[in-house]
Amino acid sequence: MKTKKKIIHLGFVLLTIVFLISCKSKKDDGLLFFLPPGGGDITNETASLPPESEVTTETGDEEGDLEFAYQTTRPIPVTVIVQDADGVQSGVTVLIKAGTETLTQGLTNSFGSFTSTFNLIDRYESITLQIIIGDNVVSTQIIQTANLVAINRTITISTSVDSVAQAAVDTDGDGVPDSQDAYPEDAALAQIITTPSSGTLIVGFEDLYPSPGDADFNDYVVMVKNNAEDLNAQGQVVRIRATYKHLAAGAGYKSRLKLNIPGHLSGQFTSQITDKDGTAVASLDTHMTDLSGISIYGDLNSKDTLDSAWNTRQGQTYVEGMQAQIEITFDTPASPQVIGAAPYDLYLSVLKYTDTEQVQVHFPGLYKDANGVDQYIDSKGFPWAIAIPEQWNWPVDGSNIKAAYPNFEAWYTSHMAGTPTNKDWYKQPDDSHLYVYFTIPSAIAAFFGQAGSVSFLLFFGLMLLAVVALFSIRLKTVSR
């Protein structure tokens, strides 16, 4: 009997320890699913303001049905105005995040306004808008993302906030407190935005444009890692950094991977190309007056960067492709609204059997003809390019995306019907139709990977308690 009590006591002690550890993980977003539902939930944390202060919000967010372009992310423009008893307020931090992932951040200007554009992963059901004065969060607002097209809000603080703003430590004097500054000793930089938060984006192309493709999206597959934007205090893009890795080339044609930065902007472009063992193959450091038509791998084509391999055939041993690390530093910081969201206008330059470009393959939604028809949706209603904000295995030759991902069809047909479902279609594959490069976690592991370590610890603690309870019952049965 004493043994049984000791086991039960030990189980509760272990569960308590697990729970305390989970509570200590303040930065983990694993408990976000406990947040109450509802659009625009607002928590005004006025404790750091004068006692008589009130924070109110005028909401003019836009909702609607965006034109469906087969993408798993969508750009969301933002305009937030902050004012207090003295009028509009400059130097107030506006932060938008999903869980712990920062989507955009910047200071209000002399008109009290912050404008930006961020990339929203379609499966996020809510995001958080925070207004921060100095080191103090004065308003936290939960925004539901279903049908969200744009964020437009005016935040009013009933009293003056100058004294609060002056209390924060700002080492580099850029107006962003050190607590909010990714570069606290560099006044030119303030924040790092990585798309997506995992640092991995997979892009698959069909190269038969303008003829319809076979929808396997494996003619050219590239992984974009650590696609990062370095922002200044105002939320403008100072620098773009990314690493591209060629994963697959299931096509007979030769192609080159290229990039357009919208807005006809100028800046310094550098690249370092390495082969599969990390040996430098080529490098480039040049100033460009128009950052368009950038060849990610220089003069190398798809047959060079993947050593004439395919990586699309069932049972084929994977062959490592080349990597290209690039950096673009703008001559003048760029507006996120001008350059758009990562991966920007990343496209395939198809050479076919020549050494000169024959056609270009772009994401849908970027180019329309004179009649307003999307130039990159084929006659079957399919795109030639798709981007996935996760680790993603592409279909093998002889299969298509609908066979490899059974929920893909439900996803795109529901979007076209205006009732989006299956937003995580890329998480439910049929491996028999895939070239398996990534080892995708099981459904349970994937859940905890998204929910965070807090959820895992709580789950582990409950399972531990269940095991202890069952063991104690067994002991009780045996003792009888």
Q: How sure is the predictor about 414, in pLDDT bands with cuts at 50, 70 and 90?
A: confident
Where does the pLDDT of residue 72 fall: very low under 50, low under 70, confident under 90, or very high at 90 and above?
confident
How much is the average pLDDT of 131-138? 87
Q: Pick the closest to residue 293 from 262, 271, 268, 321 (CA basis).
A: 262
What average pLDDT does range 278-298 have in this prediction?
95
Task: Give pLDDT tens digits for 99-118.
Answer: 888 899 999 999 999 999 88
Residue 31, pLDDT score? 32
Contact between 41 and 141 under an 8 Å Cβ cutoff? The reply is yes
Q: Which of the two residues, 293 and 134, has the higher pLDDT score?
A: 293
Q: Give the mean pLDDT of 57-78.
A: 84
Read off the pLDDT band of 440 (50, 70, 90): low
pLDDT at 165: 59
Q: Which residue has the higher pLDDT, 62 or 6?
A: 62
What is the Rg, in whole angstroms, of the alpha carbon atoms belonging to the chain?
A: 25
pLDDT at 456: 44
pLDDT tens profile 308-344: 789 999 888 999 999 999 999 999 999 998 998 889 9
Q: Is the pLDDT of residue 389 over 70?
A: yes
- Asked if 226 contacts 325 with a C-beta cutoff of 8 angstroms, the reply is no
Mean pLDDT of 287-295: 96
* Reduced 3-state DSSP string for the chain: CHHHHHHHHHHHHHHHHHHHHHHHCCCCCCCHHHCCCCCCEEECCHHHCCCCCCEEEEECCEECCCCCCCCCEEEEEEEEEEEECCEECCCCEEEEEECCEEEEEEECCCCCEEEEEEEEECCCCEEEEEEEECCEEEEEEEEECCCEEEEEEEEEECCCCHHHHCCCCCCCCCCCCHHHCCCCCCCCCCEEEECCCCCEEEEEECCCCCCCCCCCCCCEEEEEEEEEEEECCCCCEEEEEEEEEEEECCCCCEEEEEEECCCCCCEEEEEEEECCCCCEEEEEEEEECCCCCEECCCCCCHHHHCCCCCCCCCCCCCCCCCEEEEEEEEEEEECHHHHCCCCCEEEEEEEECCCCCCEEECCCCCCECCCCCECCECCCCCECEEEECCCCCCECCCCCHHHHCCCHHHHHHHHHCCCCCCCCHHHCCCHHHECCCCCCCCHHHHHHHHHCHHHHHHHHHHHHHHHHHHHHHHHHHHHC
pLDDT (mean) for 260-269: 96
Q: Bigger pLDDT: 390 or 268? A: 268
Interval 228-258: pLDDT, tens: 999 999 999 999 999 999 999 999 899 999 9
Q: Tell me the pLDDT band of 472, cut-offs 50, 70 and 90.
A: low
Q: Quick check: 24 pLDDT over 60?
A: no
CATH of domain 37-187: 2.60.40.10
Beta bridge partners of 269: 286, 328
Q: Of 57-71, 102-116, 258-272, 376-390, which gets the smallest average pLDDT?
A: 57-71
User: Residue 32: is its pLDDT beyond 50?
Assistant: no
Confidence class of residue 45 from pLDDT cuts 50, 70 and 90? low
pLDDT on residue 18: 46
Provide the residue ranges of all domains of the chain, joining segments of one domain with +: 2-28+452-479, 37-187, 194-400
pTM above 0.85, yes or no: no
pLDDT computed for residue 436 by the predictor: 92
Give me the chain's average pLDDT, please: 83
Residue 226 has pLDDT above 60, yes or no: yes
Band (25; pLDDT cuts 50, 70, 90)? very low
